Structure 1
Amino acid sequence: MKLKAKKVLMSSVFSVKTKFITFIFFVLIYGNFYTLQSNPSYITPSKKYHIVKRDETLYTISKKYNIPLKKIKSYNNLQNDKIFAGQKIYFTPRIPPKREFVTKRKIPLEKYHTVKKGETMYRISKMYDLEIIDLMEYNNLETFNIKEGQKILLTSENKKVSSDKPPKTVTHKKVTKNKKGKTHTVKKGETLYAIAEMYGMKIAELKSLNNLKNNSLKAGQKLNLTPGAKIASSPAKSSGTNKKSSNKKKKIKSSDIKNPYSKSDLCLPVKGKILSEFGLRNNRQHKGIDIGAEMGEPIKAVLPGKVVFAGKQRGYGNVIVLEHDNYVMTVYAHNESNLVRLGDMTEKGQPIATIGKTGNASAPHVHFEYRLKGKAINPREVLPL
């Protein structure tokens, strides 16, 4: 009888103990789950940044996510505690751009570089000690996605660049003998400079013979090599009306490209006084406008886009280049700080940088460029000024 009572007692104690352990287990599991859900310092892979809301401060964000203020400032390249509504605040260190160890080269005779597998615009600019913005200009770049085999012009006909003198063995005599009354059909990747070199001609001469307004060429296009050459495009016998209509078509083809956006589609990069206009300045084309503002003021993306370059350039200082839909690219230069990272998707009106005077700037401002299909357009024509 005593043994049986002892067994019942032991069973009862064991049952209570099991229930207690089970209770503690569930408390711990639920507690950990709640902690994971509510502890702001737990950052999931899909939330590596915080978008600043109105009236938020760097201090409150630091407390909310339990990350030291000093680290947040370092991660986001911030010069002070000032932040702006819509700005992205990153919680992870910036991955520095891959250091491009390249051997500096002189501009080759053909004045272009053939892209090799894995090369980027940044690498090519380092290779020849050129500014990325200048390379965009020389090549009328529509995108930063360059391809293997693509030819990148390293200079323009108006800019003198150091290069090796042509070797004595180089000659164009054999080719020039065959150019009289002839035409040349442009092959994929060929440039105006390369064709001019091929036939021992000057670029200006080729452009004049073919009524070209710029250096852009298309595969399959026929070029006159002499004044006597004729390109078969229509029957020789045609009425005066047909001639006029063909001339009209040529004018339309070479006319200014229509902007796909209206002024209301864009916002201003910053509100301020225009310090320098688009056009000729100091005997050099100024491809954008300079807008003055207070040091540290936010510079905003004028359209939704993607960051294709965020870094330093010698004359331009801190630079950001955004690529947008419809072959539009925008440039923001002389920034105090770049607030976005390479590859970021940006929204219209998002702060992407702060006003500075880096590079060769003498006063705080942003140098802004608007490029459509590689051509710089006067920002006054597209911004809601």
Structure 2
Amino acid sequence: MARLAKQSKRRKQAAKRPAPADKANDMRISPSATELIVRPALVSGGMPVLGRVFRRFGEPSKTGKNTRGISIRTRPGSTVVAPRNGRIVFAGPFRGLGNLLIIEYQAKYHLLLAGLARIDTDVGETVLAGEPVGMMTASQGAKSDLYVELRRNGQPINPLPWLAAGKPKVNG
């Protein structure tokens, strides 16, 4: 019963959030064309947080391995939202990733969000697109980077087309 009240409260809070003024600006290339500026999903489909993509899918990481997701540099204290309607299948600390949130979509897609300072949802809950699910660190000096990985049938795929399309179907 408490879980239903909590979900209802979060849905009402998400509904009060303002819609983006210009849907065309939800994802755009910056003037330098080297970094992607993104806006979070406020209604349906889109990015989980406002920020700048600074590491893309398949690029070499610090360890030399190709990344299996994207990294978004956010402002301290940024709210992280569910980009689509889904179900929480994992929420908590995970080996070296800090707080990890995994949202399942249509049983074959799983979105991993790592690096959150706080998780505001529980395993088993259903979340709506645009519903707040967590928060980035509020410390001014700390890095506030969100790692986003999308898996289809357990295999990592580029999350950018999936997030931009607003549909759980991609070629990749």
**SS in structure 2 of the partner of residue 352 of structure 1:** strand
Q: Would you say 1:332 and 2:116 are equivalent positions? A: no
Query: CA shift at 1:383, angstroms?
Result: 2.1
Instruction: From the two aligned structures, give the one with the greater helix fraction.
Output: 1
Who is 1:48 aligned against? 5
Alignment map for 1:1-385 (pairs within 5 Å): 47-49=4-6, 50-52=8-10, 85-86=13-14, 266-279=45-58, 280-281=60-61, 282-325=63-106, 327-356=108-137, 363-384=143-164
What's the C-alpha RMSD, in Å, of the aligned pairs?
2.7
**CA distances 1:307-326 after superposition (whole Å, capped 9, x unpaired):** 11101013110110011115
TM-score, with structure 2 as normaliser: 0.67
Does 1 or 2 have the higher relative contact order (CA < 8 Å, sep 6+)? 2
**Misfit runs of 4+, over 6 Å:** none
Q: Which has the larger radius of gyration?
A: 1
Instruction: From the two aligned structures, give the one with the greater strand fraction.
Output: 2
Asked if the contact 1:302/1:348 (under 8 Å) is kept, the reply is: yes
Q: Distance in 1 between matches of 2:78 and 2:94?
A: 21
Query: CA shift at 1:356, angstroms?
Result: 3.1
Query: CA shift at 1:266, angstroms?
Result: 2.2
Q: Which runs of 5 or more residues in structure 1 are unaligned?
A: 1-43, 55-84, 88-263
**CA distances 1:135-190 after superposition (whole Å, capped 9, x unpaired):** xxxxxxxxxxxxxxxxxxxxxxxxxxxxxxxxxxxxxxxxxxxxxxxxxxxxxxxx
**SS in structure 2 of the partner of residue 86 of structure 1:** helix
TM-score, with structure 1 as normaliser: 0.32
Query: CA shift at 1:380, angstroms?
Result: 2.1
**SS in structure 1 of the partner of residue 163 of structure 2:** coil
**SS in structure 2 of the partner of residue 383 of structure 1:** helix
**SS in structure 2 of the partner of residue 286 of structure 1:** coil
**CA distances 1:194-250 after superposition (whole Å, capped 9, x unpaired):** xxxxxxxxxxxxxxxxxxxxxxxxxxxxxxxxxxxxxxxxxxxxxxxxxxxxxxxxx
- How many pairs are equivalent? 132
Asked if the contact 2:115/2:146 (under 8 Å) is kept, the reply is: yes
**CA distances 1:291-332 after superposition (whole Å, capped 9, x unpaired):** 111122111111211111101013110110011115110000
